[in-house]
Structure 1
Amino acid sequence: MNIAIDVLAILGAGSKNRGIGNYTTSQLKALFNQDKENKYFLLNFYENISLKEILDYPDNVSEYYFYLGKNEYIGKEEGFKKIFENIVKNFLETNRIDLFYFTSPFDPTVSYDISWFNNVRTVATLWDIIPYIFKKKYLSDKTTYENYMKSISFLENVDKLLAISNSAKEDMIQNFKINPEKIDVIYAGTDNDFRKINISFEEALDFKKTYNIKDKFIMCTGGDDERKNIESLIVAYSKMPKELIDEFQLVVACKLSQHSETHYYEVAKKNNVLERVILTNFVPLDHLVTLYNLAHIVAFPSKYEGFGLPVIEAMACGTPVLTSNNSSLGEIAMDAAFLVDPFDVNDISRGLVNILTEVNLNKLINRGFERIKMFTWDKVAQSTLDGIEKIESKIKVQKKLKKKIAFFTPLPPLQSGISDYSVDVLNKLSKYFTIDVFIDKGYTPDNLYNNKISVYTHNFFESKQSEYDEIIYQMGNSSYHAYMLEYVKRNPGILVLHDYNLHGLLHFVAQKEKNLDLYKQFLYEDYDINYIDEYINKLLNGTSGIQEYEIPTNGALVNYSKKVIVHSDYSKKQLLLNNINRNVRKIHHYAEIEEDVDKDEKCSNLNFEESKLILSAFGHIHETKRIMPILKAFKNLTIKYNNIQLNLVGKPDVNIENEITQFISSNNLSSKVTVTGYIGLDEFEGYIDISDICLNLRYPYNGETSGSLMRILAKGKCTIVNNIGSFSEVPDECCLKLESPEFLTQQDEIDLIYNSIESLILNPNKIITIGDNARQYAKENLDIDKIVLQYVDFINYTLINTLNASLLNEISEFILKSSGPDLKEIHKVAQTLSYLK
């Protein structure tokens, strides 16, 4: 199960390093230590820090940070709520979240809506409903009351509440309409820091001087809230017999505001115990533990608590406890503490006198040690997991009918990398969807041996189109995809854009129909009419040729698509720069991750000497793949290195075939250079297996991602690429990157290729290291099973795209108004907004 946890309780300004924050930190640490089966996704909108350092979590836990602006305005301002909703929904869908856990549901830092979680089960921690029980004090303001009741309504609608005490559970049941079975009690635990420690007399004396403690003392640790009852405790203390006041000081150890500190000292002065009351204000954890250990008793007569950690912390330190007889305090303490009425000062005073003079403290201490065995973080974690798993069973019984998909693509035997790509993707996707494939007329497909998939020629689509929930178009810049154009515009769906620039395809279609106006209409989809008309005029009068690379275009298809899949950040960025409204998802090109193969055996099968250093370039042999510079660099290398071989694995383009043949012949390279022509996929991969260094260069660039490169990386081969477009996105340690030929003379490019290959020949360990890094990158990012799951998510992705130019302007104006021209703020917010794209 995939479980998302909002870490607001740990990092929220109102809870960080306080009771709720400390509780949740301990709870999650124990949970992650116990549960290695479920996957946990920590969602952080609050502080850009490492949760790993706080929670020390294992490998089945990951964390995600989204900056929501100063004071988290994106998470709570009504005008930006749709953005926050989409961030949350996108997170849920992208990570396939089954269950979402709200750790601090009353905190107003961000505002969730339960309707966002229709397909996700929800859990929340129920700390208490103290503000409602004492509404005259806490909810007297109408707005505050209404906001609080919104939180109550939210809790009423989650699937499971995890209450920290029976008292909190009963309060919720008695005050609101909620099914008792919906609430599980998980209690709290004591951290290992709270324990009995050995303190010598001298150490105790020195420590007590830190806080001006001179005698035995009664300790109280509470908080800066009237409910903690510190004032009543001071008055009750003052009512004790003088000999007890002289024997025991009262030490209040908690953080207090200046106002509260002044007030409590005034109360002490008014009741003639000013010299005997010490307010330590904030104390660090190690000091708090020492104070617990040195205290004669701990007094915690709070008016109401959801749990009351000080009670069990004191017991764990072997200190007797006086606490309240109501709420969770009596429930937790039972007979292991002395109980008093927190609303009766005289009863608190009576209790103090009794516990100091009459009660068998050793008996209380021993009962305390027994009692705290009920409250461990391991038990809290197990109870949390039990509550979650009760909901999991509901998730498992939810079954959905498979969606039916229409899938337009070329298939083998058409000589296209996209054909091979589609076969593998289809076979995997058929596990999740019912699929009909629509191909061009004129050939019979092979290699698609899957009885779950039906194949039709595209003319059958019109009669079947009402059957489909979604349509997918695999689109590349070749004539094999021309038949899809009319369908994309008429039947919008998901466009998988293998090449960013489709100019070649669109020009081919217009030229085939001898329709110049159609060519212009295609280009108008991306460019200003005047600009295109000027280009067409130059074309007609012969002052310009076809500007295929200079005028990249795809709008004739992209502009009519509901969603677009690309394989690189380069393509995604270009599409969004042209139109921010587009719904674009980057999904890596895939690779099959297979076991390493024996190079010797493969070389034997292909009639190559295993001892040779083998260089190879793959795919359709075109001038854009820098074949001639590669051949020229290789020729120079053979002068110095005799034991090298070059394979050009693919079919040469007609425009370059003669040049390649003549160069090989005239330079006597026929024994050292092999041109395979078009070959099947198995043989193609065999050539990758025997290669030591692969060359995958590119210029000019059509915005494509190379399927060959993905296979090369997955096989752990050292590859040389140009630092351009999608190729530049492969990590530097996984390939060798060359400067784009755009910035080089012809000879400079040849020399660069020569030098890069020679550097590898002279450093064979580098070849191995780059190859190992490439394989690891492929395992983590290109595994086809992971890629297909991303397809599934995006096909099922139903969010409405709310991020548009108008909304971006609103956010920009909001930042300017609240922060001025703060570029850092704009950049951080932009990073979060990019998640929606």
Structure 2
Amino acid sequence: MRIVIDMQGAQSSGSRHRGIGRYTLSFVAALVEAARDHEVLLVLNGQYPDTLKDIRDAFAQRLPASAIKVWFAAEPLGRYQPRGRELREQAKSIREAFISQLAPDLVLVTSLFEGHQDEVVVSVGHFRNIPTAVLLYDLIPLIYEERYLADPSVRSWYLEQLDYLKSADLLLAISESSRQEALQLLGCASDTVVNISSGGDDFFKPIELASSDYETLRSTYSIERDFVLYTGGIDFRKNIEGLIAAYARLPIAVREQFQLVVVCSLRDGEKQALRSVGNQCGLSEQDLILTGYVLDGDLLRLYNACTLFVFPSLHEGFGLPVLEAMMCGKAVIASNRSSLVEVTGRDDALFDPADIDGFSGLMRRALEDSGFRLSLEQHAMQHAKKFTWANTAASALDALIGLQQKHQKSVKALGNNTNQYRLAYVSPLSPARTGISDYSSELLPALAEHYQIDVVSITDDVDDPWVRQVGRLRSVEWFRQHRDQYDRVLYQFGNSAFHGYMFDLLSEIPGVVVLHDFYLSGVLSYLESHEQPLHSGSFLKALFHSHGYPALLDWWNVRDLVSVVRRYPCNFGVLQGALGTIVHDEYPFELAREWYGETATTNWYRIPHLRGATEMTGRVEARNRLGLPEGAFVVCCFGILAETKLNDRLLDAWLDSALARSEKVFLVFVGSCAGETYAQQLASHINASPARDRIQITGWVSDETFHDWLSAADMAVQLRARSLGETSGAVLHCLRAGLPTIVNAHGSFKNLESASVMMLDDAFTHDDLVRAMETLWQDPDLRSCLRGAALRAIREHHTPERCASLYQQALEASYRSPSNVVSSLVKKLAADCMSADDAKRQARALALNFPPPVRLRQIMLDVSGLVLQQRAQSETGFAPCLQQWLSDKPPPGWRVELVYYDTKLQEFRYARRLAASILGVMGACLRDEPVDGWDGDCLLLNVSGEAEPEALVPLESTGVHMLTARYEQDAVQIRPFPALHEHESIVLSAENWPTIGELLLQLSPVIDLDGQVSDCALMQ
């Protein structure tokens, strides 16, 4: 399982250097060791940058660096923030969303009662209900309300955190005493609170003290004789006044032999107050030693040097100092309250802190009775062995595993019934002349078995039978206004003008995308050329966003929009905006990895293109309606005619085959031509043929006529070239009709069931096609075999019922996916009233905390000096090399960006206008926006730049690989930041400048690039 641990207990100013901070670090370290069969992620608060390195260093040998994640609130949440309450509520949502997108099986909170006056943000179930366990130290403020909760603001905050505690799924109590508090005061079920106890740091142990150690104690703390030791806090419940009073009642002879040493951090007023108590009890400054804060080394010496350790606390969650003293083999006496009974483990070592005489008497016995004291020391060494971090971690891990198993059972019990979910289905519908309209007509009735569906259409002129019958048709504007009524949204995306409105809609209302065409450049170019100014620059923006500077340069140099449209998919924005992506076969997977790298298909699902097993029209009746002569053998090609469908090659092959020489064989193209020029060429070729009377192009036909041709045909030929990732609905029509069909192994065709079609090579020859048609025409047994296999394939894989079931699985998996977190968070934050400045800060926080699930890794080049000069050329001669890097096509999954530090805004920004100037292209679609840097990106930092160290914290904390680049005359020296060894330096010469792929190969031994750049230089 994946355990995500909130580490703020080791970060906050109130806990970091106290018991909770020490417990957090020691416990989590032990849990990481115990959970080696599980994945552990640590989550840190970026508002405490001074703690990040210490915690990373503490776990460097236990966890990979990538297992430590840092989140950021939109802005500081300090005590005097005017809108602190509102901002803290927003920060709670951001934190829980950040954790949720890590896809945890469960979350462990190390300290819940934090955040009243600092930057800590802790909540449970504020945004997402994830199985959550919380470390429970104690409920002391609830027990002593009059002391701790007198301030109304403190009380309100504490009770709110207490509600979060009650909503947690599991409490890991640090003692049985704390466990009982939860059961009795909170009414928790016994199986939801587990005592995991505590451990002591191995640092605390018996040591031989040298004379120099005693001299150090004497000179530093004025300890001149044997002493009684207390260490802990100064809080009232620590009962230091009672300790002083009990010590003062010892006989003078005993006090003359033993000093009382109180070790705790004291402010001046607190120190004076304790001195006053001592004076009232008749104690001199030599009787009562107040050390103030001591370093760990001195604390170890004090434990080992003392004669007796006394802990008079009125209430403890555990009482770690008692255990530490026992681990050092010292005699220990403690109050008989709360957890101290179980930590001390010996009744005759306990006293009633309210009975000062009894307390003093036990102290005297321990000091004067050497036999009793020796037995306490022997007991201490043995009893302390029961408290180990390994035992604590093992108990905690068992409880966490139990929580996960319990959660899995509850999820399974709920099942996967989605019938009550409302689904917005966004798609063109009949009579729109697109195959996706037909597809939706077949899918909707089957999908309605799983969801309550409203269909969203850009037009109300819809004649789809199911929609007309059910009557739930919504306009796009109505959908925008009522988006919150829907649990699920499904977009049917294609590369035609019918889908133009979906781009903006998807950015506003995220959903699952069905990608019928991998390339979306066609519809984007259409929008730009036909619907200005609304979509002005939409194609160029998508081109740059998807493919970076090389594609923009290509467009600028070629100036042929058609060739660029066919060359680049321009679909990356849609892939990033989708909560999940559905495709119909493996070919789009191949294209996505080819263009965007191995991680591009996150949250992708394959659902076969559906075709219902509808009864075909009677063959004889269909032929009569179409006017075919008796005994005719009909070869059909279905779908729009275009160069990419190779209709001209089919015509040529048919004319050169024996089929054309038979008066009984007909060739019919059932569809219309996509281009006038291509139509004229085909018509001219047909008219010049002696067989022209047996060749027909039908043009666009009705559904009824289309199905008549399917029923009437004897075989089909469906060919493809220069596929843009589309799936052919026409070939599935042929298979559903049981038509023997010839295809070539191109694009999605190559993934068809091999037995169901006659498959030619992708690069088939003219003779190959002639031979295939003649073979199929002359072999009725082969046609029969293909017919049976085609019908079986449709029944087994392509029925609407099966596909609808797969749709439901994909939709639910997508909406459970971490990628759904951001859309839900945006919706929640948008509901709050925010100023424009607030909205900007929230947007930056979202960008910083939530990298898109599908993204390109960046190699960012700091060119602050060039930007400051406001010109593309620099005296170093480095700009031409930058031009080469910007022009290079990077390895799949990477992009190149120039960045600079803005001294006014104190942030890094993309230097896109400078990049356009260096390349000599028009950069109207480019903006110098704030840098989004995420895990795995690389930043080559200009060591002579203006960046403040604070500006690097967000980038470094999110996992950006930091390197320094020293620009010299015609050379660049690159080193990791900070460089550990001189040999890690990489020198790039302008005379032998590497490509981006070669640069990444050079960097990969120096910084961890997750193995994603192997052979990348060969991919150029």
Q: TM-score range by the shorter chain?
A: 0.5 to 0.7
Q: Deviations over 1:595-626 (max 9, x none)?
A: xxxxxxxxxxxxxxxxxxxxxxxxx9xxxxxx
Is 2:392 aligned against 1:380?
A: yes
Q: Distance in 2 between matches of 1:403 and 1:490?
A: 31
Query: In structure 2, what is the Cα distance between the partners aligned to 1:91 and 1:782?
Result: 31
Aligned residues of 2:278 and 2:284 also touching (Cα < 8 A): yes
Equivalent residues of 1:589, 1:782 under 8 A apart? no
Structure 2 partner of 1:540 = none
Q: Which residue of 1 aligns with 2:499?
A: 485
The equivalent of 1:801 in structure 2 is: none
Gaps of 5+ in 1: 405-434, 444-454, 476-480, 528-544, 568-584, 592-619, 621-650, 654-676, 685-703, 708-719, 747-755, 784-837
When residues 589 and 740 of structure 1 are mapped into structure 2, their CA distance, relative to the original with a 3 A threshold, is farther
Q: Which residue, out of 426, 438, 452, partners 1:459?
A: 438
- Alpha-carbon separation, structure 2, partners of 1:68 and 1:362: 54
2:886 corresponds to which residue?
723
Matched residues in 1 for 2:519 and 2:435: separation?
28
Q: Is structure 2 residue 40 aligned with structure 1 residue 28? A: no
Cα displacement (A) at 1:779: 4.5
Q: Which residue of 2 aligns with 1:58?
A: 62
Aligned equivalent of 2:203? 193
Matched position secondary structure for 2:496: helix
Paired with 2:113 and 2:252, the residues of 1 have a C-alpha distance of 45
What residue number does 1:446 align with?
Answer: none
What is the CA-CA distance between 1:317 and the residue it aligns to? 0.6
Q: Is 1:242 the counterpart of 2:246 in the alignment?
A: no
Q: Distance in 2 between matches of 1:436 and 1:499?
A: 16
Question: 1:352-501 residue pairs with structure 2 within 5 A?
Answer: 352-358=363-369, 360-397=372-409, 398-399=411-412, 457-462=436-441, 464-465=443-444, 469-472=488-491, 481-482=495-496, 485=499, 488=502, 493-494=511-512
What letter corresponds to residue 72 of structure 2 in structure 1?
A: Y
State how 1:149-164 maps to structure 2 within 5 Å. 149-164=159-174
- 5 Å matches for 1:120-131? 120-131=130-141
Q: For residues 697-716 of structure 1, what are the alpha-carbon distances to aligned partners after superposition, in whole Å with 9 as ceiling and x for unaligned?
A: xxxxxxx9999xxxxxxxxx
Counterparts in 2 of 1:471 and 1:278: CA distance versus 1, 3 Å: same
| 1:88 equivalent in alignment to 2:89 | no
Q: Which amino acid in 2 is paired with 1:151?
A: Q
Distance 2:329 2:143 in 1: 33
Q: In structure 1, what is the equivalent of residue 694 of structure 2?
A: none
**Compared CA separation, residues 590 and 137, structure 1 to 2 (3 A):** closer
Measured after TM superposition, the shift of residue 4 of structure 1 is 1.5
Question: What are the within-5 Å matches in structure 2 for residues 687-702 of structure 1?
Answer: none
Deviations 1:395-440 (A, max 9, x none): 3322376799xxxxxxxxxxxxxxxxxxxxxxxxxxxxxx999999
Q: C-alpha displacement at 1:158, in angstroms?
A: 0.6
Tell me which amino acid in the other structure corresponds to 1:482: S
Q: Which residues in structure 2 correspond to 1:214-363 (within 5 Å)?
A: 214-275=224-285, 276-335=287-346, 338-358=349-369, 360-363=372-375
C-alpha deviation, 1:324, in angstroms? 0.5
Separation in 1, partners of 2:348, 2:761: 80
> Which deviates more, 10-19 or 265-274?
265-274
185-194 or 66-75: bigger deviation? 66-75
Q: Is the 8 A contact 1:588 1:782 kept in 2?
A: no
CA distance in 1, matches of 2:28, 2:994: 52
Query: Residue 676 of structure 2 aligns with which residue?
Result: none
The equivalent residue for 1:790 is none
CA distance in 2, matches of 1:386, 1:308: 24
CA gap 1:723/1:125 in 2 versus in 1, 3 angstroms: same
Q: Which runs of 5+ in 2 are unaligned?
A: 419-424, 448-487, 541-558, 582-595, 603-643, 645-719, 723-745, 752-759, 763-853, 858-882, 898-913, 922-987, 1016-1020
Partners of 1:759 and 1:244 lie apart in 2 by 85
Q: Which amino acid aligns with 1:723?
A: L
Distance 2:377 2:390 in 1: 23
Letter in 2 for 1:11: Q
Aligned pair in 2 of structure 1 residues 268, 781: CA closer, same or farther (>3 Å)? farther
Q: Any idea what SS the aligned residue of 2:125 has?
A: helix
Which secondary structure does the structure 1 equivalent of 2:339 belong to? Answer: helix
Q: 1:53 to 1:762 in 2, by over 3 A?
A: closer
In the alignment, which residue of structure 2 is the partner of 1:67?
72
- Residue 471 of structure 1 deviates from its aligned partner by 2.7
Counterpart of 2:86, as a letter, is G
Q: Identify which of 143, 157, 163 aligns with 2:153.
A: 143
Letter in 2 for 1:370: Q
Change in Cα spacing, 1:342 to 1:780, as seen in structure 2 (3 Å) is farther
**Counterpart secondary structure, 2:32:** helix
Identify the residue that residue 99 of structure 1 maps to in structure 2: 106
Corresponding residue for 1:5? Answer: 5
Is the counterpart of residue 173 in structure 1 residue 180 in structure 2?
no
Q: After superposition, what is the alpha-carbon deviation per residue over 1:485-529, rounded to whole angstroms, capped at 9, x for unaligned?
A: 16837986456999999776455x58xxxx9865666549899xx
- CA distance in structure 1 between the partners assigned to 2:400 and 2:211 by the alignment: 49
Q: How does 1:673-822 map to 2 (within 5 A)?
A: 722-723=885-886, 727=890, 743=918, 769=1001, 777=1009, 779-780=1011-1012
Q: How far is the alpha carbon of 1:248 from its aligned partner?
A: 0.4
Deviation at 1:302? 0.9
2:97–2:128 contact (8 Å) kept in structure 1: no
Q: CA deviation at 1:362?
A: 1.4
* CA positional deviation for 1:270: 2.0
CA positional deviation for 1:725: 10
Q: Please give the alpha-carbon distance, in whole angstroms, between the structure 2 residues aligned to 1:496 and 1:773.
A: 40
CA RMSD of aligned residues (A): 5.6
Offset at 1:157? 1.4
User: Does the CA-based 8 Å contact 1:31-1:382 persist in structure 2?
Assistant: yes
User: Structure 1 CA distance, aligned partners of 2:577 and 2:69?
Assistant: 25
What letter matches 2:103 in structure 1?
A: R
Indicate conservation of the 8 Å contact 1:306/1:328, yes or no. Answer: yes
Secondary structure at 1:107 match in 2: coil
Q: Following TM superposition, by how much is the alpha carbon of 1:733 offset from its aligned partner in structure 2, in angstroms?
A: 11
Residues 185, 782 of structure 1: alpha-carbon distance in 2 compared, 3 angstrom cutoff: farther
SS of the residue aligned with 1:274? coil
Q: CA deviation at 1:124?
A: 0.5
d(CA) in 2 for partners of 1:367 and 1:502?
Answer: 76
Q: Report how far residue 207 of structure 1 moved.
A: 3.3
Q: Secondary structure at the match of 1:589?
A: helix
What residue number does 1:608 align with?
none
TM-score by length of 1: 0.58
Taking a change above 3 Å as real, the CA distance of residues 197 and 521 of structure 1, as seen in their structure-2 partners, is: closer
* Secondary structure of 2:600's aligned partner: coil
Q: 1:490 to 1:150 in 2, by over 3 A?
A: closer
The letter of the residue matching 1:203 is D
Amino acid of the residue matched to residue 48 of structure 2? E
Counterpart code for 1:386: D
Q: TM-score, normalised by structure 2?
A: 0.48
Instruction: Pick the structure with greater CA Rg.
Output: 2
Deviations 1:170-200 (A, max 9, x none): 1222222211221100111111110000112
SS at match of 1:15: coil
Q: CA deviation at 1:349?
A: 1.2
Counterpart of 1:485 in structure 2: which amino acid?
H
The residue type paired with residue 92 of structure 1 is I
- The residue number in structure 2 matching 1:19 is 19
Partner of 2:482: none
Deviating more after overlay: 252-261 vs 101-110: 101-110
Q: Percent identity?
A: 24
Q: Offset at 1:133?
A: 1.4
Contact kept? 2:200, 2:389, Cα under 8 Å: yes
